[in-house]
Structure 1
Amino acid sequence: MSISDALHRLTSDQGLPSADRLPRWLSPVPRWLENLGLRLVPAIIIINVLGTLFGFWYYGFHPIPQTDPLITWQFASEPVIMWPFVPDSPLATLFIALAFFTWWRGKTNEYLAALAFFGCWKLGLWTPYVLTVFADAFLSVTWTPLYLFLFISHLGMVIEAFVLHRIADFPIRAVGVALIWYGFNDIVDYLIPIVGDPHHTAIPVADTTTVGNSTALHLAAAGAITLTFIATFFALSTRIYKIKARS
Structure 2
Amino acid sequence: MMTLLSRIWLLLSHKSFLWLLLFVNLSGTVYGYDWYKWQLVITEPKYWIFVPDSPTASLFFTLAIIGWLINRNFKLIEALALITLVKYGLWAVVMNLLTLIETGSIGWVGWMLITSHFAMAVQAILYIPFYKFGFGHITLAAIWTLHNDVIDYIFGQMPIYSNLMKYSNQIGYFTFWLSIACIAIAYFVWRERTQTPISS
The letter of the residue matching 2:127 is L
Specify whether residues 124 and 33 from structure 1 end up closer, same or farther in structure 2 by C-alpha distance, changes over 3 A only: farther
Is 2:73 the partner of 1:108? yes
- For residues 116 and 168 of structure 1, the distance between their equivalents in structure 2, rounded to whole angstroms, comes to 10
Deviates more, 1:227-236 or 1:86-95: 227-236
Q: What is the CA-CA distance between 1:206 and the residue it aligns to?
A: 6.0
Question: Which of 22, 28, 38 does residue 45 from structure 1 map onto?
Answer: 22
Q: TM-score under structure 2 normalisation? A: 0.89
Contact 1:51 1:93 in 2 (8 A): yes
Secondary structure in structure 2 of the residue aligned to 1:114: helix
Q: How many aligned residue pairs are there?
A: 195
Is 2:184 the partner of 1:233? yes
Specify whether residues 182 and 31 from structure 1 end up closer, same or farther in structure 2 by C-alpha distance, changes over 3 A only: farther
- For residues 104 and 33 of structure 2, the distance between their equivalents in structure 1, rounded to whole angstroms, comes to 21
Secondary structure in structure 1 of the residue aligned to 2:163: coil
The letter of the residue matching 1:202 is I
- For residues 37 and 206 of structure 1, the distance between their equivalents in structure 2, rounded to whole angstroms, comes to 37
Is 2:49 the partner of 1:84? yes
- For residues 172 and 40 of structure 2, the distance between their equivalents in structure 1, rounded to whole angstroms, comes to 20
Q: Deviations over 1:1-39 (max 9, x none)?
A: xxxxxxx7xx98xxxxxxxxxxxxxxxxx5544442222
Structure of larger gyration radius: 1
Write out aligned runs for 1:1-247 (5 A).
Answer: 32-39=7-14, 40-60=17-37, 73-136=38-101, 144-191=107-154, 193=155, 198-205=156-163, 207=165, 209=166, 216-244=167-195
The letter of the residue matching 1:182 is T
- For residues 137 and 58 of structure 1, the distance between their equivalents in structure 2, rounded to whole angstroms, comes to 22
Secondary structure in structure 2 of the residue aligned to 1:162: helix
Contact 2:57 2:84 in 1 (8 A): yes
Q: TM-score under structure 1 normalisation? A: 0.73
Secondary structure in structure 1 of the residue aligned to 2:73: coil
- For residues 31 and 227 of structure 1, the distance between their equivalents in structure 2, rounded to whole angstroms, comes to 31
- For residues 59 and 95 of structure 1, the distance between their equivalents in structure 2, rounded to whole angstroms, comes to 17
- For residues 116 and 229 of structure 1, the distance between their equivalents in structure 2, rounded to whole angstroms, comes to 15
Specify whether residues 245 and 48 from structure 1 end up closer, same or farther in structure 2 by C-alpha distance, changes over 3 A only: farther
Aligned-pair identity (%): 23
Q: What is the CA-CA distance between 1:134 and the residue it aligns to?
A: 2.2
- For residues 32 and 180 of structure 1, the distance between their equivalents in structure 2, rounded to whole angstroms, comes to 37
Secondary structure in structure 1 of the residue aligned to 2:161: coil
Which of structure 1's runs of 4+ aligned residues deviate more than 6 A?
none
Q: Which runs of 5+ in 1 are unaligned?
A: 1-7, 13-29, 61-72, 210-215
Cα RMSD (Å): 2.1
The letter of the residue matching 1:225 is F
The letter of the residue matching 2:114 is F
Contact 1:189 1:199 in 2 (8 A): yes
- Which structure features the higher share of helix residues? 2
